[in-house]
Amino acid sequence: MAKKKILIVEDDTTLAKALAYEFQQQDFEVASAMDGIEGLQLAESMLPDLILCDIAMPKMDGLTMLSKLREASWGKGIAVIMLTNFSDEQKVMEALSQQAFDYLVKSDWDLSQIVAKVKERLGV
């Protein structure tokens, strides 16, 4: 079976590195972007199965990226999980209204739990 493709959009290099390492270990095909603009470009070229997307990022934040993704014909169906370190901000509500489906507060989750959540979402 082909590897599932995951795109990590996270501007904090430490966190991005941990996530990429973990998903590679778990046999995913992983690509990483540092901001929303890069994230959209990569998403269009690789068409990932799922995007893990940070909210606060330079150049283009995660929510703007998400709405642009949903506007594009190729991006409508891609599963997205928003990563945040804000807990009950308006922003999270906005993300939910755009059907990002899931969001999680990074500091409350282990890597293994994030992997479990992604797998559940992808049905693998």
Partner 1 sequence: MDSREIKDQPIFPDNLEEHKAIYNSLQEKLKVIFDSLVRDKINLELQVIESKKFRLAVESASDHIIITDPDGTIIYANRAVEKVTGYTYDEVVGKTPGKLWGGHMPKDFYAKMWETIKVKKETYKGEVNNVRKNGDPYTAEINVSSVSDEDGQLVFFVGIERDITKEKEVNQMKNEFVGLVSHQLRTPLTGIRWFVELLLRNQEGNLLPAQLDFLKQISDSNQRMIGLVNDLLDISHLETGHKFDVVRKNFVFDSLIQEVLRDNIVLITNKNLQIVNEIPKTLLVFADYAKLKQVLQNLVSNATKYTLEKKNIWLSVKTDIEKGLVFTVRDEGIGIPRDQLSRMFEKFFRADNASSQDPNGNGLGLYIARGIVRAHGGDMWVTSEENQGTCFFFSLPIVSAKDQKIDNEVKK
Residues lying near partner 1 in the complex (CB under 8 A) are found at 12, 14-15, 18-19, 21-22, 85-88, 105-108, 110-112
Residue number, 22 or 94, with CB nearest to partner 1:
22
Task: Compute how many other C-beta atoms are within 10 angstroms of the C-beta atom of residue 66.
Answer: 26
Residue number, 34 or 78, with CB nearest to partner 1:
34
Query: H or E stretch including 79?
Result: strand 79-84
Shortest reach from residue 75's CB to partner 1, in Å: 26
Shortest reach from residue 51's CB to partner 1, in Å: 18
Instruction: Give DSSP secondary structure letters for 22-78.
Output: HHHHTT-EEEEESSHHHHHHHHHHH--SEEEEESS-SSS-HHHHHHHHHHSTTTTT-
Shortest reach from residue 30's CB to partner 1, in Å: 15
Residue number, 45 or 87, with CB nearest to partner 1:
87
Q: What is the C-alpha to C-alpha distance for residues 54 and 8, in angstroms, rounded to an integer?
A: 8
Residue number, 67 or 85, with CB nearest to partner 1:
85
Shortest reach from residue 26's CB to partner 1, in Å: 12
